[in-house]
Amino acid sequence: MTIMICFIICTFRAGISSNQPFCTSFHVSGLLSYFSGLFGSKERRILILGLDGAGKTTILYRLQVGEVVTTIPTIGFNVETVVYKNLRFQVWDLGGQTSIRPYWRCYYSKTDAIIYVVDSMDRDRIGISKNELVSMLEEEELKKATLCVFANKQDIEGAMTVTEVANALGLSSIKNRKYQIFKTSAIKGEGLDDAMEWLANALLSNN
């Protein structure tokens, strides 16, 4: 087990509005562990983003330990290392509450890929999810980042289909970026392997 000492926090500059967070860094302990697979030397930075309650943290630990773990709403972030297909992923799971989303940009630098998680049951907020995605993809620091969308909670009856989620997010309008959407269930683990396989291959092809 490896321990990584790293933390990034967002604070405000005096006189700057709350939608322009200033990012700084300091050190605290954070747990890093390994997902089964082939070890490699390449490390890629991955952000797991999405609205609160979408299942981001459940997905992270499903990938990391292979089972469902009890989680609480993320205030700040969780960071783990996942190793898969000769790629070492440094995976950052960021909180999705309204008050936290402006701070996402503090973590954009040097990001190789985004896993964007959507609650397929949350029809009321799918428009907000789209707005956050569109705004994020306009950021210069994410210009070259690969996008992998998880249409999550597909195990629940009445969930939007992958096609419905893709249309609601306007994915067909994305240009000059590698992207794909997957049908997933964090609770059952369905679709996660397919998504990680695609993401690993997409990043390897960028070499």
Tokens of 119: 């609650």
> What whole-number distance in Å separates Cα of residue 88 and Cα of residue 73?
26
- The reply to whether 57 sits in an annotated binding site is yes
Amino acid at the residue 187: I
Pick left, alpha or beta for residue 61 (phi over 0 → left; psi -120 to 50 → alpha; otherwise beta).
alpha
- The reply to whether 155 sits in an annotated binding site is yes
- The reply to whether 52 sits in an annotated binding site is yes
| 180 part of the active site | no
User: 86 near 147, Cβ under 8 Å?
Assistant: no
Give the pairing type, strands 77-84 and 87-94: antiparallel
Angle at which helix 192-204 crosses helix 56-65, to 10 degrees, equals 80
Selected catalytic residue, list 20, 64, 97, 180: 97
Tokens of 85: 């297909």
- The reply to whether 189 sits in an annotated binding site is no
CA dihedral 124, 125, 131, 137 (to 10 degrees): -130
- The reply to whether 20 sits in an annotated binding site is no
CA distances to 9, 39, 170, 172 from 164, rounded to whole Å, are: 35, 37, 10, 12
Positions marked catalytic: 97
**Annotated binding-site positions for GTP:** 50-57, 96, 152-155
**Annotated binding-site positions:** 50-57, 74, 96, 152-155
**Annotated binding-site positions for Mg(2+):** 57, 74
